[in-house]
């Protein structure tokens, strides 16, 4: 990074950090370098780029930007969020134990239970809204504390500072999935976490047009291992996907402001609807955002007082909100967790965690808020 960017604010950095000057043409944006391999000056010359699985100029421009935006030191970019998760899990060895929050992204839960268990890694799940939950679940062989906050889909808040302090006391690494908040709203490394990771498919990319993931740390030793895992396993992101996320990040600050402002307006509307039973939204229960998030973000979950068929009818009745999985794009999406994103979790476990048949999750986009509210209003009318 050029020194003159060091003291600039987030929105400026997000736009300028990833600009790698290209002398030949004076290109203002970083080019996409598709080359898989790079010319050497002599056999074994590894002073520059060598092979794209190891490093690529477009991907590197993005990795440098992400490291800085998360206030970390090293960042690695992957072909999906779950590839990033896997690189972290590969820090573990057979016999190790992980304490994780229970309201977890479905795909992460599947990877833990259906794959990592085969390698003698064990997992305990705790609610985590009380930091004591973590303390109680830690065993002698616990090596990793796994936090997602806000959680998905119930948007509960975990206190990163308190949780990572507990982990540190026991010599345990804390990893935080920062997909929902993004570094614009919450920076876990500043709060004591060792690793922060993302599904860049969501807000970092921001346009529902790329699948990718990222891992960031300040710790040099962890970085060396994560970099080895990235290179040795090979789930790196390609140059075009890296470039899309580099472009997406330029508007991250303004998008997160608008996602949050729109979501607040939608929540105000939902409060007036008699068919709505419960609303889940960061800070909604009156508790402050624990000073860890600067804005609530764009995700809202709520329950509808109706049977499954009626709720299904509701999620199919919106026109601006698109019925689709995923989140974090400029376009608003509507999701039925029990039938969609969280269908792989057994019904009893799901319901025990509050993912009931009446639950609906919104990813509020950056469209005109009046249009979004009118759309939800007509969908509610359609089920009366």
Ligand X SMILES: *Cc1c(COP(=O)(O)O)cnc(C)c1O
Catalytic residues: 53, 105, 177, 202
**Interface residue with ligand X, options 30, 55, 56, 80 (CB under 6 A):** 80
d(CA 105, CA 328): 14
d(CA 204, CA 244): 10
Q: How far is the CB of 222 from ligand X (least distance, A)?
A: 19
The answer to whether the beta carbons of residues 155 and 281 sit under 8 Å apart is yes
Q: How far is the CB of 108 from ligand X (least distance, A)?
A: 6
Nearer to ligand X, 112 or 380 (CB): 112
Residue nearest ligand X, Cβ-based: 81
Nearer to ligand X, 177 or 375 (CB): 177
**Interface residue with ligand X, options 102, 108, 229, 303 (CB under 6 A):** 108
Q: How far is the CB of 296 from ligand X (least distance, A)?
A: 16
The answer to whether the beta carbons of residues 166 and 135 sit under 8 Å apart is yes
Question: Does the protein bind ligand X through residue 81 (CB under 6 A)?
Answer: yes
Nearer to ligand X, 82 or 158 (CB): 82
Q: How far is the CB of 113 from ligand X (least distance, A)?
A: 15
Residues 6+ apart with CB under 8 A from 102: 125, 126, 127, 128, 353
Angle CA 351–353–357, to nearest 5: 35
Site for ligand X in 131-190 (CB under 6 A): 148, 152, 177, 179
Nearer to ligand X, 215 or 317 (CB): 215
Nearer to ligand X, 133 or 148 (CB): 148
**Interface residue with ligand X, options 102, 182, 201, 242 (CB under 6 A):** 201
Question: Does the protein bind ligand X through residue 70 (CB under 6 A)?
Answer: no
Binding segment for ligand X (CB under 6 A), chosen from 119-127, 195-203, 244-252, 274-282, is 195-203
**Interface residue with ligand X, options 199, 217, 332, 356 (CB under 6 A):** 199
Nearer to ligand X, 226 or 317 (CB): 226
Residues 6+ apart with CB under 8 A from 245: 62, 77, 200, 204, 205, 210, 212, 237
Q: How far is the CB of 88 from ligand X (least distance, A)?
A: 11
Place of tokens 């889940």: 280
Binding segment for ligand X (CB under 6 A), chosen from 13-21, 75-83, 127-135, 235-243, is 75-83
Question: Does the protein bind ligand X through residue 211 (CB under 6 A)?
Answer: yes
Binding-site ranges for ligand X (CB under 6 A): 80-82, 105, 107-108, 148, 152, 177, 179, 199, 201-202, 211, 213
């Amino acid at each position: 990074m050029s020194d003159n960017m060091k003291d600039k604010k987030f929105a400026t950095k997000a736009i300028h950090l990833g600009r790698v000057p290209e002398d030949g043409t004076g290109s203002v944006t970083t080019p996409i370098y598709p080359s898989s391999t790079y010319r050497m000056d002599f056999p074994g010359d590894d002073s520059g780029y060598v092979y794209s699985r190891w490093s690529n100029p477009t991907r590197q421009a993005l990795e440098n930007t992400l490291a800085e935006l998360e206030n970390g030191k090293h960042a690695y970019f992957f072909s999906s969020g779950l590839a990033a998760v896997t690189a972290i899990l590969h820090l573990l060895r057979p016999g190790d134990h992980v304490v994780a929050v229970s309201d977890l992204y479905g795909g992460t839960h599947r990877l833990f239970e259906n794959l990592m268990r085969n390698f003698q890694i064990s997992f305990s799940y705790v609610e985590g809204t009380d930091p004591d939950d973590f303390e109680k679940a830690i065993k002698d062989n616990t090596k990793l504390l796994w936090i997602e906050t806000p959680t998905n889909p119930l948007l509960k808040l975990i206190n990163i500072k308190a949780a990572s302090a507990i982990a540190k006391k026991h010599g345990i690494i804390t990893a935080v999935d920062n997909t929902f908040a993004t570094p614009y709203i919450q920076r876990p490394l500043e709060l004591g976490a060792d690793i922060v990771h993302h599904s860049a498919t969501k807000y970092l990319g921001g346009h529902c047009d790329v699948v990718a993931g990222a891992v960031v740390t300040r710790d040099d030793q962890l970085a060396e291992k994560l970099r080895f895992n990235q290179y040795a396993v090979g789930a790196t992101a390609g140059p075009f996907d890296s470039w899309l996320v580099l472009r997406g990040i330029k508007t991250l600050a303004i998008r997160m402001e608008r996602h949050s402002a729109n979501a607040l307006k939608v929540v105000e509307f939902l409060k007036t609807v008699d068919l709505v039973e419960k609303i889940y939204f960061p800070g909604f229960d009156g508790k402050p955002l624990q000073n860890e998030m600067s804005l609530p973000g764009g995700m809202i979950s709520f329950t509808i007082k109706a049977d499954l068929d009626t709720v299904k009818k509701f999620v199919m009745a919106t026109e601006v909100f698109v019925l689709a999985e995923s989140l974090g794009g400029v376009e608003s999406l509507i999701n039925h967790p029990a039938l969609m994103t969280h269908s792989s979790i057994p019904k009893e476990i799901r319901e025990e965690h509050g993912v009931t048949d009446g639950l609906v999750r919104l990813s509020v986009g950056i469209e005109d808020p009046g249009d979004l509210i009118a759309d939800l209003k007509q969908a509610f009318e359609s089920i009366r």
